[in-house]
Structures are given as structure tokens and as C-alpha cells.
Structure 1
Amino acid sequence: MAEPAPETESLSRSITLPRLVLYGVGTILGAGIFVVIGEVIGESGTLAPLAYLAAGAVAFLTALSYAEISARVPTAGGPTDYVERAFRHRHLGSMTGWLLMTANTVSAATITSGFVGYLSIFVDVPGWLVALLVATGIGAIGAAGMRSSTWFMTVTTGIGIVTLLAVIWATREGLTAIPSRLGGELSGANPAMLTGLFSGAFLAIYSFIGFGDMALTAEEVKQVERTLPRAILIALAIVFLFYLLVSIAVVGAGPVEEIASARAPLVAAVEREGWPAWPVGLASLFVIVNGALTQIIGASRLLMDIGRDARGAPGFFGRVNPVSRTPLIATVTLTAIVALLAAFVDLQHLAEATSLIILAVFFLVNCALIGLKRRSQPDEVPDIWIGIPLLGALSTLGAILAQIAFWFS
């Protein structure tokens, strides 16, 4: 497997544990609760908190696998290199890299589409134009450098956390009302309800995918073997708690039909409780930009790795700009693709496609860790029980097969 590029062309190691945690929280929040909670509620209804719980369980199993394998193989290629090193099969590793880059790119487009929905609260502008302008601006931030990007993410993540706390407070009556609402719903359980719960959980998986993007910053993290595993688990735990609380409060506070159909679901939730819309709407725009930015950063690092290691992309994609210390050509190219997808493809279809692709990558990563653990166990990396990646592989494979069966049923 190819080694990282020489120091003169390498990425800058500038990310510490606190900044990486905030980076992770920001990308997971931006890719999740602000954008697709309406779609999850539309599928699962009152059972949406259970959908997030099921999706979170699948995500946590794979996050534990990422925590160990990212310390074993700390490269910007992430799953590309994990799979190649575990199975000693270059083409399988390359396929994994292309899959993950596709997932990140489509995810960035999904989040950008969500931005269009929240912006419509303030101004009536053609969605395609907003998508093109927003994607261009996000790409420019990503191209400027990792240090400036992480500072931007730190600020917007703080805004996102405060906003979610405000949403929970506005809908707090739902926290106590949810047991009776869930009990009444489950007492009349039927096949259609269970199908809706599964569909919602499949969409909710999209809400957690950002933790995988944290592994793609490995070549830019200080003391990566210790910092990266800790940051992945801390960030996912924080976000999981917010997802559960927000979904419980929103669903428990009243009828869900309006939330499910809203272009800006969290704004609709606070408006239903008599709160003004604009503060939540404005704050949401910053968080959504944050999420899209991290997806573009992750995708550009993957394309850089694919280009420099000759995995099916031209070598110029692997070049690191000497001024910004970022893969500039890869970033610009992927930004253009994100803009086109966001402008012309439906949000739910984008989210479903991302979930399916990322589940395939999660399956391969879990299998890769099983193979590496059977071969050796380095002292300097975390040592999780081998049953964890096994359960992670089975759960992700089961979700993939069930979703495919659901589509063809």
C-alpha cells in the first residue's frame, strides 16, 4: 500500500482533541437532525425516537470499530486503506474508497438541499440558485485550509448545540408526554407501522454518518493514535443524546404531520409551541453549512488519496496545494458535483442513496477490523472485543438486505 506523500506535499497536523470533537459533532449534527428529521418522522410518525435509537445502535457498533481501526491505519484514505490492508486486495480497497467518496459527495448535496428549505423561511429564491451559491461558498472555505475550516466549524457547532437546547426547551412538554404517546401507538402495532419504523431507522442512519468522516482527517490530527479514537466516541455520544432528546420532545409535544411535511422541520416544531421562527431558522443555516463543509472536506481527502495512490483517478487529484495545504483540485471538482446534485435531485432520494452506500462501507470496515485483529493486536491502539465488529458487520448487512427487499416488495 502506498505511503503518505512526502512532507513537502503533506497535510498540516493542526487538529487537537477538543477541535476534533467539535468537528465531529458539527458534521454529524449538520448531516442529521436539522435536515432529515422531517423525513424520519414522515416514515415513522410517533415512533421516530425508536427509529433514532435503532439507527444509533447500528452506528455505535461501527463507531467502536472505527475507533480501533483508525488508530491502526491513520491515513487520509480511511476505509480505502483499512480494507486494502486487511484483505491485501488493492481493487477491493479502491472500490471502498470510491464508494465512500460517493457517499460523502451525495451527503454534502443532501445537506445543501436542506439549507434551501431553511432559507425559504426568510426569502423566496429559486432553490437551484441557492444550492449552486451555497455549494460554491462551502467549497471555498474548504479550499482555504484546515485550520480556518475547523475554526469555522467550532463556531457553528456551538451555535448548533445552543439551537438544539432551545428546541428541546421549547418542546419540553413532549419529554414527559412521550411515554403515553408511544404506549398508545405500540398497542396498535401492525405490519405497516413496523415497516414505517424500519424505513425511518434506515433514513436515520444517515444522521450518524459523520463520525466516519472524522477518520479521514487522520493525517491532520496531532497524536492521532490516541486523539482520533477518543474523539469519534465522544462526538457520537454527544450527538446521540441530542438526537434522542430532540426527537422525543418534538414527537411528544403534538401532532407530527406538520413537522413531517415542513421544509424546515425544527422551525415548524418551535412555531407550533408559539416561539418565533427566525432565531432557529437563522442558526440552522450555520449548522447546515457546517455539515456540508465537513462532507466536502472528507470527500476531497478521499479523492486526494485515490489520485495519489493511482486508484482509478488522475494523479493531479492527489496534489496538495503548497499555500493552503489542502487538496485544492479535488475540492473544486467535488464542489461542482455537489452543487449540481443539490440543485436538481430530491432530498429524500439523496439521503436514501447515502445511507445505502455508507452501510456498505461500514460493513467492509467491520470485516476489515475482524481480519486485522485475527492477524495481530498492536499494544499502542485500542483493543475492542472482536464480537463488536462482528455484530457491526451483521447489523449493517442486515440493514442493507432489508432495505433492498423493502424497495422491491
Structure 2
Amino acid sequence: MKQTLGQKLTRTKPVGTSVDDGGAHAGGLKRSMGLFSLTMIGVGATIGTGIFFTMVEAVPKAGPAVILSFLLAALTAGLTALCYAELSFRIPTSGSSYSFAYATVGEFAAFVMAACLLLEYGLAASATAIGWSDYLNHFLMNATGWQIPEALRSPMLVAGPEGTEFHFGHINLPPILLVVMCGILLIRGTRESATTNAVMVIIKLAILLFFVAVAFTGFNADNFTPFFQPNTAAGFTPMQGVTAAAATVFFSFIGLDTVATAGDEVRDPSRNVPKGILLALGIVTVFYLLVALAAVGAQPASMFAGQEAGLAVILQNVTGKSWPAMVLSAGAVISVFSVTLVTIYGQTRILYAISRDGLIPKLFQKVNPRTQAPVGNTLIVCLVVGTVAGLVDSGFLWDMVSMGTLTAFMVVSIAVPVMRSKQGESLTKGFKVPFGPYLVPGLSVCACLFMMKDLSSTTYTVFACWMAVALAAYFAYGIRNSRLNRPA
């Protein structure tokens, strides 16, 4: 008997299938990462984006109260991290929230989730690569006195004060070169990529501690008065500014999701993935708050808007010397390299999981027999990410990434009580969300919705268009080629 449309849309992938498919069988991904490397992937995917770039976007919205924006984003991420930790124990596989949705709420919802993840990871990789250009230029200017020509470090499509502007003949070349370097490293294999990322993350954390120590020498408590500042230009009340800024910086916690995309390549994933998620969240939150506090204390909120290489400029203003800013810029160059690397990595592993389930072409699951890396998949992702990074202003991307991240986090939260009802409470070992299966996931969903409400109408319009494209792809290809497309 053939499956009805309703059965096809709600069919779920058995949890055992998810786990087995990710083993070290021929043609599969290799389990080569331990807890430390996995945690560093989470930290590497997170620290760098929010601190190095979005302060320029978030502080003008919230003023000194941007500290509360980071706390609100961290609280929401923390609630969701608990949900991720339980699901990654119960479903230790690649694909992150896509795989969680497929095992709980059904194939259609999983494909919608996949579309959100592809939007989230693809645009996050492009946005962070774009920011790399500013810090690279600042470093070169301080180190050699030479600047990258404007036409080679600015995009064609720019978000101007009166709307979208086209600057024909311009291309942002540094982000394209960065994506090429990341692609080469990822094609060489996961072990090499994870080791390189871990080294870069340690350097990055040291650089940020250096920033905090220097910036606090110029700390001025008057910069926090008034703490709540209305943004009349954007029409925000003070609290609306805080929540709008929280939504903008929320994508910075994408690293939690990246940890869960590595389930097929981690040794003992049921133990290490939940630990990696919670450790990454703790490290990230501490560093975000320290740097945000030091930055706002060292510079009035009014100076953040439109500031290129903002943290480096703060150090230069505090010390009156160029070398601290040069050190910070060098650290940012390394930092953004690691962020872009692991974000592209996460994108390719999500595509691998979707392809393995038959919902997109098989090209995305083919791996090189020697390096066990999905080469064709990686090349396609790098082509798309590099094109967007080279031609589009990052101002178009931040809120779209937050939209994708918040949607993904809500689906993960909903999946917890569904999975509990399927597997029951008999599972005694491993991580469980505290206070039962409803309270924390429910608070997580509410917090995500609360932050989504202040995203712009343009963000919702673009998101709706992307969803329409995704649904068309599912009904044209995915529903017919799914591995579960067989008689019930």
C-alpha cells in the first residue's frame, strides 16, 4: 500500500538509522575528534562573529544596555543548549537540528529545518568572511602602511541610508580568498581542519584577553550613563532596542549548533557532544560579556555606529599607540578564519546528512576515499559563500542569520518532549533537560519568539521567499527521492 501525502510529510527516521548511518563504514565519515577538538569547534564558530563585528550593529540599537542584549541572547542560547545536549545524546549523528527534527516531528518539518540551517550557515559564513576584510586591511595599514584599494574591499551591493545601492566595478576580494583557503583546508580532511581550528581558537582567546586588559585601562563609568538610551532614528524604545540588539547578536551563538553537526565524526558522540555544547556555551558567554563590558566602558556608545575594525580602533584610542591595535587586528584575522572555517564545515555536514537521506542529490554525500572529506559538497558551498561574501554588504545578512538560528533553536526545543514521549523516561544514562521535558523547552521557544518579534519586515519577507523556494524543492525532488519513500 502506497503512503498517503500526509504519511509522507510526517514519516520519521528511526533513531537507530540515524546513528548507524554515521558510522565508519566504507564511504562514510570517520570518527576522528575528541571532546577538546569538538569544544574548540563550538568556540571557534561562535567567538569572533558577535564580538568583532556585531558590536557595530548592536550598540547603536541598545546603547550601553547592549550588555543586557548579550545576557538575553546567552540566556536563550543556554535554554536551547540544554535541549541540544539531550537530543545529541539520544540522536548522536550529523545534521544537528535537521536530524533531530527528522527523528521526531517528521520529514516535512525536517526539510523546512534544513532550509533554515542552510540559510543560517551559508549567510553566517559569508557575513564573517566579509568582516575579515576590514581587520585585514587595518592590520596591513598598521604593519606596512599599505591599504587594500577600496574597489577591491567593498561589495557591489551596499545597504545605504536611502536603501540598496549598486557600486558596479567593486568586489570584496579578501573574503573570497578566505573562503578559498578554508575550502582547501576542509578538502584535506576533518582531522587537519579540527587541529588547525583548535590552535586558532587558543590564539583568539588570548588576543581577546589582551583586549580586555588594555581596554579596562581606559574604562570610564560615564559611558554607561544613561544605561538605557532610546533609538529615535529607528523608532525603538530603550527595551525594544535591547531586544532588537539581542536578536542581531543571537546568531553569534551558532557555534552550539555547529557542535551538533559533527555527531558522525566524534568519538563517543553520546557523551562528548552534550559536553561539548555546554562547555562551548560557558566559554563563549564569559568572553562575550567581558569584551562587551570593556568595549563600552572604553568608548561612548555613540562612536560605535559605522566603525570599521571597531575593537582595534578602541585600543588605538585608549593607548594612543598603533601596536596594540595591530595585535588585535592580527588576532581578528586569525579569529575570523576559524569562524569561517567551522561555519563552512557545519554547512557541508548538514548537506551531507540531507543527501544521505535522499532529499537532495547524491553529490552532496560523496566523500573522497583517501581524505574522507565530501569534496564536491565543499566546493559547491565555498562557491556560493564566496560569491555572496564578495558581492553583498554584510548589513543584509546579520538578521537573516538570526532568523535561521532562532527557528532552528525552536524546532530543537519542540523536539525534546516529542523524543521523550517516543523513547520514554526509561533512559537513565546520559544528559536530560532538567525540570521535566516541558518547562525548559517551553521557555526556550518563548525566548526565541520574543527576540524574533523585533527583526525587520525585510528579514521576514526574504525568509518567506527562501521558504517558498525550499518547499518547491522538497515537492519537486525530496518527497519522491526520500529513502523513506516506500510502502508503509
1:46-97 Cα offsets, whole Å, 9 max, x none, are 222111111111111111110111111111122112112112x212112212
Counterpart of 2:226 in structure 1 is 184
Instruction: State the TM-score, normalized to the length of structure 2.
Output: 0.79
* 1:77–1:301 CA contact under 8 A, matched in 2: yes
Query: Unaligned regions of 5+ residues in structure 2, if any?
Result: 1-12, 141-146, 154-171, 461-488
Counterpart of 1:237 in structure 2 is 282
The separation in 2 between residues aligned to 1:246 and 1:130, in whole angstroms, is: 26
Equivalent of residue 342 in structure 1, options 389, 400, 419: 389
1:352-393 Cα offsets, whole Å, 9 max, x none, are 100011111111110011211233132232111321111111
Equivalent of residue 377 in structure 2, options 317, 321, 330: 330
Counterpart of 2:109 in structure 1 is 92
Correspondences of 1:7-406 after superposition (within 5 Å):
7-87=25-105, 89-121=106-138, 122=140, 123-125=147-149, 126-127=152-153, 128-173=172-217, 177-178=220-221, 181-182=223-224, 184-186=226-228, 192-274=237-319, 275-276=321-322, 277-311=325-359, 313-375=360-422, 376-377=424-425, 378-385=427-434, 386=437, 387-403=439-455
Instruction: State the TM-score, normalized to the length of structure 1.
Output: 0.93
Tell me the CA shift for residue 257 of structure 1.
3.2
Task: State the SS of the aligned residue for 2:110.
Answer: helix
Task: Considering Cα pairs closer than 8 Å and 6+ residues apart, tell me whether 1 or 2 has the greater RCO.
Answer: 1
Deviates more, 1:282-291 or 1:374-383: 374-383
Letter in 2 for 1:396: C
Tell me the CA shift for residue 5 of structure 1.
5.6
| Greater radius of gyration (CA) | 2
Letter in 1 for 2:431: P
Task: State the SS of the aligned residue for 1:260.
Answer: coil
Q: When you count helix as a share of all residues, which structure comes out higher?
A: 1
* 2:62–2:229 CA contact under 8 A, matched in 1: no
* 1:20–1:214 CA contact under 8 A, matched in 2: yes
Alpha-carbon RMSD across the aligned residues, in angstroms, is: 2.0
1:314-372 Cα offsets, whole Å, 9 max, x none, are 11211121111111111110000000111112212211100011111111110011211
* 1:30–1:292 CA contact under 8 A, matched in 2: no
Deviates more, 1:361-370 or 1:375-384: 375-384
* 1:31–1:210 CA contact under 8 A, matched in 2: no
* 1:174–1:250 CA contact under 8 A, matched in 2: no
Letter in 1 for 2:194: T
Given the superposition, is the C-alpha separation of residues 145 and 38 from structure 1 closer, same or farther in structure 2, using an over 3 Å criterion? same
Letter in 2 for 1:317: F
The separation in 2 between residues aligned to 1:257 and 1:264, in whole angstroms, is: 16
1:23-63 Cα offsets, whole Å, 9 max, x none, are 21111113321222221122222222111111111111111
Counterpart of 2:144 in structure 1 is none
Tell me the CA shift for residue 407 of structure 1.
7.1
Residues matched between the structures, number: 404
Counterpart of 2:9 in structure 1 is none
Q: Percent identity?
A: 26
Given the superposition, is the C-alpha separation of residues 51 and 390 from structure 1 closer, same or farther in structure 2, using an over 3 Å criterion? same
Task: State the SS of the aligned residue for 1:36.
Answer: helix
